Amino acid sequence: MTDNKEKLDFTQDKSSRRPKSTTPSTVKKPENKDALGAMIKVTIDGKDIKVPMGTTILEAAKELGITIPTLCDHSDLCVAGVCRICVVEVEGMNNLQASCAYPITSPIKVHTHTRKVRQARRHVLDLMLAKHYGECYSCVRNGNCELQDLADQYGVDFYRFGHMEKPEKGSDDSSYAIERDMDKCILCRRCVRTCVDLQEVGVYDVLDRGEETHIGTFLDKPMNEVICINCGQCINRCPTGALHAKDPSDVIWNAIDDKSKHVVIQTAPAPRSAIGECFEGVEPGTPLTFEMNTAIRYCGFDKVFDTNFSADLTIIEEGTELIQRLYGALVEDKGEALPQFTSCSPGWVKYIEHFYPEMLKHVSSAKSPQQMFGAVIKTYYAELNDIDPADIVTVALMPCTAKKFECNRPEMNDSGFKDIDYGLTTRELAQMFKEAGIELPKLKKSDFDDPFGTQTGSGVIFGATGGVMESAIRTVYELVTGKKIDDLFDHANIMPVRGFDGIRYAELPIEEVGPVPELLEGLVPNWDWLKGVTLKVAVAHGTANAKKVLENIKEGGKLSECHFIEFMACPGGCLGGGGMPIPTNEEIRAARAKAIYAEDEASEVRKSYENPAIAKLYSEFFTEGPCSHKSHELLHTGYNVRGKKMV
């Protein structure tokens, strides 16, 4: 397999995400272009350091281990310099400077905590608090609020400029996924930059001026009437409780307490790598998969299932659909919609629905692992255990706020019941544990419940960008060639599709083919038509990168030649989802990815088609095989024309 990502000039590097601010007129500009690559000496609080020209004072201070408070700054976002809490004193300048937006272009001396600086920061903080409705005890971010932390650090003991005593703007809870409480907004604009620059969706903007300035949607419409894709990235970067996910935990507790209900939960792979971050002393990337199972049972859930099972199921169904499309295009000349797009990220699906509806025919008809599992639980599992589906409450632990919207889509009830009743984020489950008095890291380990207990490495890597593609290649390659993918890639680790580059491209030549396996008998007569074909694939994470891919395809660019493309709405994939612990940044996402791939390496079964629970499901329930009438009825939606014909 070849990695040709260097030929595609799409990757968003850190410098493009965080453009340097324009040079202040009071700062001496370099006299020649050669100076642009120079190292500049800067002295901060008496400590000397040399930094590349253009480095901000804030970045230089971090290298020296000096803490400067910030609110509008975030490592994932472009520079704004609007909150002014990070002001510092630069010798020779009359005014204080915002350290996050001041590029170092000549030697300077900086002081970060003079009396003038401390007073200015305190005044800025007091002004924010005056316009902030601070019911901290009832706030979802109590104990994890950047404004609250600063008030503590700067010893706020009274409201110098008054305080908002009651809500004025009110909250918007119209969305299934995201709630907005603008009385807690501090106008840092992180949500605006996240939605516009990082995701290129554009739900939020700064509206009005002066005292009336506020963050709003188009025409200040409620969230359920705008183009929000429910990804929740704005929540992950909001420093206060102005944005948060809609929490169903009280309703779930009620279901657990109702003895007539059989409450089951499925747990996605990404939360396991991160839920420990919600507990003191646990480093990012500490896997607590099996401790979490114990805690869930302690809370009173009847069964704990592994979403890795339905991730494997998704690979079988989505991979079979890809084979159908390829056969239709290469043999039957039917003009199939290629490349095929993945469909397991609900934020991505909503993005293409809003912005590229003409390309929906490319989206796989396969439901996401969350929704497939719900359909299987309320049919196969209910029959197996003689339980009335009406008495089963299905909960999905997900890293994603968009999953809350997805489970409420009207088409997600093919079993005759709602596939998934409630979507629960990583943060929300951690709060349930705390409410039950559970210290998660201290618990003993326990396994998942049968008949879906077998986990595979292919399922767990769904949690990282490129994981769906890697899982699909592991299975499709072996089913088509009859050879082990391990012979082509060491330990089946398909490195060309891994990593955090915004867009990745790779090719897999199919030089030999084997017999059609029993699972796919009747689907195609043989694999001879694939011999000599080079499978071209791509991976994109974050909808800003998805936009680049779709535009390239529309223009007939290189990516239009692909056969299969994985899209994830969130930066880093599910491990960077809008329901994951706060804070999140590049370093934390990398730590979570490391935990996910370590679990993959430790798995005894690392290919989806080898999962014995999957084989049992097809032998006992979907007996006509993948993409059959019954599987389309329960496991697919109506996007794909071929799928509709089969039903």
Q: Is 32 exposed, middle or buried (0-12, 13-18, 19+ CB in 10 A)?
A: exposed
Beta-bridge partners for 105: none
Identify which of 169, 188, 168 has the alpha carbon closest to the alpha carbon of residue 128. 188
Q: What is the spatial distance between Cα 315 and Cα 142, in angstroms, rounded to a whole number?
A: 40
Q: Is 122 exposed, middle or buried (0-12, 13-18, 19+ CB in 10 A)?
A: middle
- Among positive and negative, which fits the CA dihedral 578, 583, 589, 594? negative
Q: What is the spatial distance between Cα 370 and Cα 368, in angstroms, rounded to a whole number?
A: 5
Three-class secondary structure of residue 52 per DSSP? strand
- Among positive and negative, which fits the CA dihedral 476, 478, 482, 485? positive
Three-class secondary structure of residue 622 per DSSP? coil
Identify which of 647, 645, 1 has the alpha carbon closest to the alpha carbon of residue 332. 645
Q: Do the beta carbons of residue 368 and residue 314 sit within 8 Å?
A: yes
- DSSP assignment of 269-335 equals HHHHTTGGGGSTTPPTT---HHHHHHHHHHHT-SEEEEHHHHHHHHHHHHHHHHHHHHHHHHTS---
Identify which of 378, 393, 308 has the alpha carbon closest to the alpha carbon of residue 614. 308
Other CB atoms within 10 A of residue 206 CB:
13
Residues known to be catalytic: 318, 321, 344, 364, 403, 406, 411, 574
Alpha-helix runs per DSSP H in 103-210? 115-130, 146-153, 190-193
Task: Characterize the bridge pairing of strands 262-267 and 303-306.
Answer: parallel
**What ranges make up the beta strands (E) of 497-630?**
503-509, 534-541, 564-568
Q: What is the spatial distance between Cα 83 and Cα 81, in angstroms, rounded to a whole number?
A: 6
Q: Mention every residue, 6+ apart, whose C-beta is less than 8 A from residue 7.
A: 505, 558
Residue that the structure tokens 């609900």 belong to: 346
Three-class secondary structure of residue 397 per DSSP? strand
Other CB atoms within 10 A of residue 35 CB:
13
Name the helix (H) or strand (E) containing 41.
Answer: strand 39-44
Task: Characterize the bridge pairing of strands 243-245 and 178-181.
Answer: antiparallel
Which tokens in the block code for residue 528?
A: 């001879």
